[in-house]
Amino acid sequence: MSIWILTLDYLLGIVMWTLIGRSAMNIFQREDSDFFFMKVFVKFTNPLLRLFDPITPSFLLRPMVPLYVAWFFYLFRFYLMPYLLGYSVMGMLSFPLESDISKELYSIYNQWTK
């Protein structure tokens, strides 16, 4: 797999997980909270949420909007990227970011259990 594909998937994966993290953080914190991590999530995701405003339904509760936008990144990573890369089966790319993270977690776990 070429480096530009991995870079694109890592970037899209980080954006997707940041949006999911903002929604999860919003369960416990208000958007205008002084908590450092909430400020970071809001600062980095607000421009993206504004970009998706034209296609975001108005009936969605505001805390759900980041999940809605993350869903588009998931769809792109799971369906469109493999199609654009010429795979005949959708989902063939199988999320390199998450795959690499899980491999590292498995290796750390295996080192602890020896």
Domain chopping of the chain, boundaries: 3-113
pTM: 0.77
Distance CA 27, CA 20 (A): 11
pLDDT tens column, 41-84: 899 999 999 999 999 999 999 889 999 999 999 888 887 777 77
User: For 93, which DSSP code?
Assistant: T
- Cα of first residue to Cα of last residue in the chain, in angstroms, is 32
Tokens of residue 91, six digits? 């989902």
Distance CA 15, CA 1 (A): 21
